[in-house]
């Protein structure tokens, strides 16, 4: 008994020490690392260390097979490892992000860094990092999570090994909708709303394309039996140091709600009323529409559907409610002051909801919830010892500095870990979550649950989205999203309408599943097994290890010609069956989230050094701290409150109160 307690104490002690970035306990740490299993054998070969006495899981990378609190420690140590090794800048030290002198991009050439008003988030994301004002701004390059020499674009293998259209047909094609019953349809809408804040590769390059051979009877093929995919827009900011897989982000990298506020000055002007800091809402309580496209006027309106309409309407209302609150407390403030402070509060409220609520719904796992809380607020010593008060008290007595636990990123000093912030190309790849989208939506009345209308997804897409709200009560549509399911992140669950998607305004019909694969290959995203190696995880040896279902194994073997190392990252992630409890997607892609989740908070001065009353106001900080997604919905649509009351996470199915 004593030995076991001692082993736990040592494990916790070492874990907490490393978590707080404190003392490195040398060989002893290495012993725990090996015991908790995130170091590969290769890495351990050069070190000798004491072994731990607790049982080691069959596969040491599987932190979730450890007993508490070793599971949490193993994950924290892994996070620590990738934070040190897998955050890689696309700029070399003598290059300045977005230096106009080397860029053909007019958006960058026209840029001046005027950071005199350092109190507000700027439209293009400059001046967040005051020492290097271009960092994280619009048009700067994506970083990487793997060494740059492992990011070459695929060439011969891109179109044909295996043919991406074949992969889409044989492995992605949805046969029957597979729901994810623990998450509602807001999960899909929310995450697309988020990625439109974080990244976009811009308009594809019509002058350079990829030709995928298809069969004669393929409805998407041209007269030469090819599907033509325009390539990703090239980096206009080339230097002798940049490579052809360094692409630019067309929106700001920061978590600054640019999908609402826009990443350029013209769009930003169009969304603002210039009165009391507020954003424009039309008389019908929704966003005004662009006359030419019929799409809402907002920061980012590509790939639109009714899920995005809901998000933008709700958050525009929330912005305006924050303005009312600020004006009530500061009647002398200008429109500009109200707008920019409201933007800070809205961005932080969204970031907190995403961190603590959305992610907890899709990764409903005890250890991950603890890690998410530690990213935002930090965790106490008692929480990190899994509630074991005796262990916590013992540690605090022995090492008083541990009594503070693990500090959160929010409100603590900024930490870039020596690498200028940008989101990464791998981060984009792991957010290819299109299977979350269902095939149809049944709108049910929030008053009694009866069916109001039924739509196939193509009927709620692009500018048709607005008709759904013309013909239905928005509260019914919100209630529907609260109770309908998102799709499961599995093979054979990619919506078929996205595999034959008619792009608006005379655009082509595309197979988005195929394009997801092509993009990863052209952007130098490693295939599944190589990706695992680069993320310090053991590769899978057989198809059976990836998924035990004989039908899936047979299909994978056929498509990939029996070569496990050719499996695309997207496909491997969807096939992976051995995942932690509560996970809505694979553990492999989770590893990128594990590194990004904290980084985008701790590198942003508005979430760290400047997360203060001076910047946000006292009431603003309270607003961020007390607002979950259900609060936002209930504030603007009080009739939904009783339904929301049943659920402690607004991204899990709500149920009803009829």
Q: Kindly list the residues in this chain that would bind ligand HEM in the complex (CB under 6 A).
A: 188, 191-192, 195, 199-201, 204, 303, 305, 428, 431-434, 436-437, 512, 515, 519
Strand 451-456 relative to strand 205-213, pairing: unpaired
Catalytic residue list contains 528: no
Cβ closer to ligand HEM: 187 or 326?
A: 187
Which among 278, 295, 313, 288 has a CA at the least distance from the CA of 193? 313
To ligand HEM, the closest distance from the beta carbon of 572 in angstroms equals 17
To ligand HEM, the closest distance from the beta carbon of 199 in angstroms equals 5
Cβ closer to ligand HEM: 395 or 518?
A: 518
Residue with structure tokens 């060494």?
A: 147
Which among 642, 118, 136, 607 has a CA at the least distance from the CA of 350? 607
Concatenating the DSSP letter of every residue in 312-346 gives: HHHHHHHHHHHHHHHHHH-TT--HHHHHHHHHHHH
- Give the Cα separation of 33 and 40 in Å (integer): 10
Please count the other Cβ atoms lying within 10 Å of the Cβ belonging to residue 341. Answer: 23
To ligand HEM, the closest distance from the beta carbon of 478 in angstroms equals 17
Which among 315, 304, 371 has a CA at the least distance from the CA of 343? 315
- Give the Cα separation of 480 and 656 in Å (integer): 11
Cβ closer to ligand HEM: 76 or 525?
A: 525
Cβ closer to ligand HEM: 303 or 496?
A: 303
With 0-12 / 13-18 / 19 or more C-beta atoms within 10 angstroms meaning exposed / middle / buried, residue 247 is: buried
- Retrieve residue 217's tokens: 């009877």
Q: Determine if residue 434 is labeled as part of a ligand binding site.
A: yes
To ligand HEM, the closest distance from the beta carbon of 200 in angstroms equals 5
Cβ closer to ligand HEM: 511 or 610?
A: 511
261-296 in b/e form (b: 16+ CB < 10 A) is bbbeeebbeebbeeebbbbbbeeeebbeeeeeebbb
The three-state secondary structure class of 296 is strand
Residue with structure tokens 């969204």?
A: 350
Residue with structure tokens 């009530």?
A: 328
- Rounded to an integer, what is the distance from CA 454 to the centroid of its chain? 30
Cβ closer to ligand HEM: 165 or 519?
A: 519
**Cβ contact 612:457 at 8 Å:** no
- Give the Cα separation of 356 and 628 in Å (integer): 9
Residue with structure tokens 């827009």?
A: 233
- Give the Cα separation of 74 and 390 in Å (integer): 21
- Retrieve residue 392's tokens: 């916590």
Cβ closer to ligand HEM: 186 or 479?
A: 186
| For helices 306-329 and 474-483, angle between their N-to-C axes, nearest 10 degrees | 110
**Cβ contact 96:132 at 8 Å:** yes
> CA separation (Å) from 57 to 28, 585, 645?
20, 21, 40
To ligand HEM, the closest distance from the beta carbon of 156 in angstroms equals 21
To ligand HEM, the closest distance from the beta carbon of 246 in angstroms equals 14
**Cβ contact 239:417 at 8 Å:** no
Cβ closer to ligand HEM: 247 or 528?
A: 247
- Retrieve residue 389's tokens: 């008060």
To ligand HEM, the closest distance from the beta carbon of 201 in angstroms equals 4
- Give the Cα separation of 225 and 471 in Å (integer): 41
To ligand HEM, the closest distance from the beta carbon of 594 in angstroms equals 17
Cβ closer to ligand HEM: 57 or 179?
A: 179
Angle made by CA atoms 433, 434, 435, in degrees to the nearest 5:
95
The alpha helices in 431-473, defined as continuous H runs, are: 465-471
With 0-12 / 13-18 / 19 or more C-beta atoms within 10 angstroms meaning exposed / middle / buried, residue 562 is: exposed
The three-state secondary structure class of 386 is coil
Signed CA dihedral, 403, 409, 414, 417: sign only: positive
Cβ closer to ligand HEM: 360 or 465?
A: 465
- Give the Cα separation of 173 and 48 in Å (integer): 49
To ligand HEM, the closest distance from the beta carbon of 570 in angstroms equals 10
Angle made by CA atoms 157, 160, 163, in degrees to the nearest 5:
130
Of residues 91, 261, 377, 431, which has the active-site annotation?
431
To ligand HEM, the closest distance from the beta carbon of 257 in angstroms equals 16
Cβ closer to ligand HEM: 39 or 428?
A: 428
- Retrieve residue 107's tokens: 């958006």
To ligand HEM, the closest distance from the beta carbon of 440 in angstroms equals 12
- Retrieve residue 294's tokens: 């019929």
Binding-site sequence positions? 434
Binding-site sequence positions for heme b? 434
Residues identified as active-site: 431
């Amino acid at each position: 008994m004593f030995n076991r307690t001692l082993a736990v104490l040592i494990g916790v002690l070492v874990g907490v020490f490393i978590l707080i970035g404190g003392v490195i306990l040398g060989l002893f740490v290495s012993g725990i690392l090996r015991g908790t299993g995130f170091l590969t054998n290769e890495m351990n070969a050069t070190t000798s260390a004491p072994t731990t006495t607790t049982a080691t899981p069959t596969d040491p990378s599987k932190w979730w097979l450890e007993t508490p609190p070793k599971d949490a420690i193993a994950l924290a140590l892994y996070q620590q490892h990738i934070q040190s090794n897998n955050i890689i800048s696309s700029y070399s030290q003598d290059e300045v992000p977005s230096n106009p002198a080397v860029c053909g991009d007019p958006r960058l050439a026209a840029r001046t860094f005027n950071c005199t008003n350092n109190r507000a988030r700027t439209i293009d994301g400059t001046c967040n990092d005051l020492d290097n004002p271009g960092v994280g701004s619009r048009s700067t390059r994506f970083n990487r999570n793997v060494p740059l020499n492992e990011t070459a674009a695929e060439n011969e293998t891109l179109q044909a090994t295996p043919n991406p259209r074949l992969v889409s047909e044989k492995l992605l094609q949805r046969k029957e909708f597979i729901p994810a019953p623990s998450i509602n349809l807001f999960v899909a809408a929310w995450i697309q709303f988020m990625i439109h804040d974080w990244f976009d590769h811009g308009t594809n390059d019509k002058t350079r394309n990829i030709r995928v051979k298809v069969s004669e009877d393929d409805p998407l093929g041209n007269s030469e039996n090819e599907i033509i995919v325009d390539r990703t827009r090239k980096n206009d900011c080339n230097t002798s140091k940049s490579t052809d897989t360094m692409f630019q982000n067309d929106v700001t990298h920061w978590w600054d709600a640019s999908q609402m506020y826009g990443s350029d000055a013209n769009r930003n002007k169009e969304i603002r009323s210039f009165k009391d800091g507020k954003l424009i809402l039309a008389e019908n309580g929704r966003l005004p529409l662009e006359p030419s496209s019929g799409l809402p006027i907002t920061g980012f309106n590509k790939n639109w559907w009714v899920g995005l309409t809901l998000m933008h309407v709700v958050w525009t209302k929330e912005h305006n409610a924050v303005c009312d609150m600020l004006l009530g407390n500061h009647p002398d403030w200008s429109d500009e002051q109200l707008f920019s402070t409201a933007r800070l509060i809205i961005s932080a409220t969204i970031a907190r909801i995403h961190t603590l609520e959305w992610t907890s719904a899709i990764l409903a796992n005890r250890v991950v919830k603890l890690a998410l809380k530690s990213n935002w607020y930090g965790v106490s010593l008692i929480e990190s010892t899994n509630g074991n008060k005796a262990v916590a008290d013992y540690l605090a007595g022995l090492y008083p500095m541990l009594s503070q636990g693990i500090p959160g990123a929010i409100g603590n000093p900024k930490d870039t870990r020596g690498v200028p912030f940008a989101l990464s190309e791998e981060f984009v790849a792991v957010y290819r979550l299109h299977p979350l989208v269902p095939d149809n939506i049944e709108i049910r009345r929030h008053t009694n649950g009866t069916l109001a209308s039924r739509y196939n997804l193509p009927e709620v897409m692009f500018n048709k989205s607005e008709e759904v709200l013309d013909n239905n009560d928005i509260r019914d549509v919100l209630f529907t999203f609260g109770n309908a399911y998102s799709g499961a992140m599995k093979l054979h669950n990619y919506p078929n309408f996205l595999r034959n998607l008619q792009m608006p305004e005379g655009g082509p019909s595309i197979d988005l599943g195929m394009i997801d694969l092509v993009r990863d290959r052209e952007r130098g995203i490693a295939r599944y097994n190589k990706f695992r190696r680069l993320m310090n995880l053991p590769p899978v040896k057989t198809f059976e290890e990836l998924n035990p279902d004989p039908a899936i194994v047979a299909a994978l073997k056929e498509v990939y010609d029996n070569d496990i190392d050719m499996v695309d990252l997207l496909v491997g992630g969807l096939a992976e069956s051995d995942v932690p409890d509560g996970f809505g997607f694979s553990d492999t892609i989770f590893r990128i989230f594990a590194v990004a989740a904290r980084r985008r908070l701790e590198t942003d001065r508005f979430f760290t050094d400047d997360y203060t009353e001076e910047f946000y106001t006292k009431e603003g900080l309270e607003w961020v701290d007390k607002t979950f997604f259900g609060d936002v919905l209930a504030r603007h649509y009080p009739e939904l409150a009783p339904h929301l009351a049943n659920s402690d996470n607004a991204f899990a199915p709500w149920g009803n109160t009829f």
